[in-house]
Amino acid sequence: MVYIDFHTHNTLQTDGDIIAVNSYGTDELHTIDFENFFTVGIHPWNAGAEQLDKYLARIMDYTNNPKMIGIGEVGLDKIREPSIDIQQKVFIEQLNIAYHTQKPVTIHCVKAWDELLATKAKYSDKLLWAIHGFNGSHQLAKQLVDKGFYLSVGSSILNEQTKLQSALAHIPLNRLFLETDTSTVGIRAIYEAVSTRLDISIKNIKQQIINNFTEFYQIEPL
Ligand SMILES: [Zn+2]
């Protein structure tokens, strides 16, 4: 049974028993590996870049590729430039592409949860959303799950000091994904940590995440 890496920037991590979803930003479009699952999005940090219309058009083009399974990472980040208004505008343009092409979205969100929830409320429940790199409290996990989000957990779970340690058990298993993002820790180590923390076998976690992947993207991962 495969390990699914829900969100990674380490293209090389796709191998034998790992299926990774590679995530590309606007400066990485020339590196896209069209043989493997991928997502494309204008990151909120790049929302002030020039030629955004060109990038939006390219994202729209990629949605015709069967390996392009989602839009992301996109979102809001209040501790980084550009302003939240500019980020919000670019975010919404991409949500509209996602909505019209029926592609799920992978979200980067830092200290902008109220804005994110308000934005999500404007879209139909048919658009599926996953928060990548979730590392918040159990209260936040519960709030996001109640609003329909999937939560993807990364290498923070290896850090004993994080709030995520207690939040993890509050994420229903049918809303959980695991990812490496930019970490050099392999996806197997993240599955092992979650298996230990939740006292669930790796086999069962793998099966659950394959089911979640199939439901989220409406495709079989193999
Ligand atoms: Zn990322």
Geometric angle at alpha carbon 43, from 37 and 49, rounded to 5°: 125
CA 29 – CA 83 distance, rounded (Å):
24
Distance 121 CA to ligand 1 centre (A): 24
Q: How far is the CA of 56 from the centre of ligand 1 (A)?
A: 19
Over residues 126-131, the mean pLDDT reads 96
Q: What is the pLDDT of residue 14?
A: 64
179 occurs within a structural domain: yes
| Chain position carrying tokens 């996109």 | 74
pLDDT, tens digit, for every residue of 32-48? 999 999 999 999 999 99
Handedness of CA 46, 48, 53, 54 (dihedral sign): negative
21 occurs within a structural domain = yes
For residue 173, give every residue at least 6 positions away whose Cβ sits within 8 Å of its Cβ, in sequence order, or none. 200, 205, 208
Residue 222 resides in a domain: no
**pLDDT at 16 (0 to 100):** 83
pLDDT at 88 over 80: yes
Confidence category of residue 221, pLDDT binned at 50, 70, 90: confident
Say whether pLDDT at 213 is over 70: yes
Answer for the pair 188, 217: CB distance below 8 angstroms, yes or no. no
Render pLDDT for 176-212 as a digit per residue (tens, 0 to 9).
Answer: 999 999 999 999 999 999 999 999 999 999 999 999 9
Quote the ligand 1 centre to 197 CA distance (angstroms). 24
Give 183 Cα–ligand 1 centroid separation in angstroms: 9
Question: Do the domain assignments include residue 16?
Answer: yes
Residue-averaged pLDDT of the chain: 95
159-182: per-residue pLDDT in tens? 999 999 999 999 999 999 999 999
In-domain check, residue 24: yes
In this structure, what token pair is assigned to residue 202? 């790796």
Residue 59 dihedral angles phi and psi, to the nearest 5°: -60, -45
Domain count, the chain: 1
* Interatomic CA distance for residues 148 and 119, integer angstroms: 13
92 falls within a domain: yes
Q: What is the mean pLDDT of the segment spanning 9-31?
A: 87
Amino acid at 135: N
Range of the domain at 160: 3-217
Of the pLDDT bands very low, low, confident and very high (cuts 50, 70, 90), residue 12 is: low
Rounded to the nearest whole angstrom, what is the distance from the C-alpha of residue 29 to the centroid of ligand 1? 15
Question: For 11-19, what is the mean pLDDT?
Answer: 78
Alpha carbon separation from 44 to 76, 134, 136 (Å, rounded)? 6, 16, 19
What mean pLDDT is predicted for residues 79-96? 97
Name residues whose C-beta falls within 8 Å of residue 26's C-beta, 6 or more positions apart in sequence.
42, 43, 46, 49, 55
Which residue is associated with the tokens 């979650």?
194
Q: What is the CATH number of the domain that holds 14?
A: 3.20.20.140
Distance, in Å, from the CA atom of 68 to the CA atom of 80, rounded to the nearest integer, reads 28
